[in-house]
A and B are shown apart, each in its own frame.
Chain A
Amino acid sequence: EPEVTQTPSHQVTQMGQEVILRCVPISNHLYFYWYRQILGQKVEFLVSFYNNEISEKSEIFDDQFSVERPDGSNFTLKIRSTKLEDSAMYFCASSVGSGRAGEQFFGPGTRLTVL
């Protein structure tokens, strides 16, 4: 069964460093998402991506964040200068469509720890 994969499973970085979280969505999916979950809090939407551009982003997704689909299979989230409060589990998701057709399939997550 096709699945969304994410690497690495755990990333530890120093404050101020850049990190890139990688995701491989399901191959025929067209919509891509990043969510995050700070420990003990709810899963929060960060950004959605369709047709090689951001379709919606939350207020969390500031200039420190960027997304890219560099090669037609990977979908990446870059945090330019990490802060302590960026420590969280980051989930990638993908779907065939949006709205009614948009069942989102989630990856296992990357746990980011910023020291």
Chain B
Amino acid sequence: AQSVTQLGSHVSVSEGALVLLRCNYSSSVPPYLFWYVQYPNQGLQLLLKYTTGATLVKGINGFEAEFKKSETSFHLTKPSAHMSDAAEYFCAVTHGSSNTGKLIFGQGTTLQVKP
């Protein structure tokens, strides 16, 4: 069975500081990994995804994540936080042999950006 754990339900950073949101997964098959962002009163928007190939993936709004198989991790980073990054972030996993694309989500991390 697949699962996702996001360490830290709330993360607070100062504007301009490094953002690091942690995600660890469990999967018995090679995973596909995703980060979604949810702004207030909006749906989930895909930030980036890893399927195969390069383990460092770049997404929208300056975010990137690195797939580390040995650590079963897919942490999300951004070098310099902006006020507009304040939102809830979800890590999710599925796998390539899934015919249905069912996503398994983590608990979510709320990012607060202080001026």
Contact = CB atoms under 8 A, between A and B. Distances in A.
Nearest to A4: B43
Interface in B64-112: 90, 92, 94-108
A46 B32 CA distance: 19
B113 to A, nearest CB: 22
Interface residues of A, number: 28
B105 A44 contact: yes
Interface string A68-80: 0000000000000
B50 to A, nearest CB: 11
B104 A45 contact: yes
A35 B43 CA distance: 11
B44 A43 contact: yes
Contact of B101 (A42, A43, A98, A109): A98
Interface size of B as a range: 20 to 34
Contacts of B104: 45
A41 B49 CA distance: 23
B45 to A, nearest CB: 7
A108 B108 CA distance: 17
Contact of B43 (A41, A97, A102, A107): A107
Interface of B is mostly: loop
Contacts of B42: 108
Contact of A108 (B41, B95, B97, B99): B41
Contact of A103 (B49, B100, B102, B105): B49
A108 B36 CA distance: 13
Given A42-B107, A42-B108, A106 B44 contact: yes
A31 B101 contact: yes
Interface of B: 32, 36, 41-46, 49, 51-52, 90, 92, 94-108
Interface of A: 4, 31, 33, 35, 41-45, 48, 50, 55-56, 91, 93, 95, 97-100, 102-109
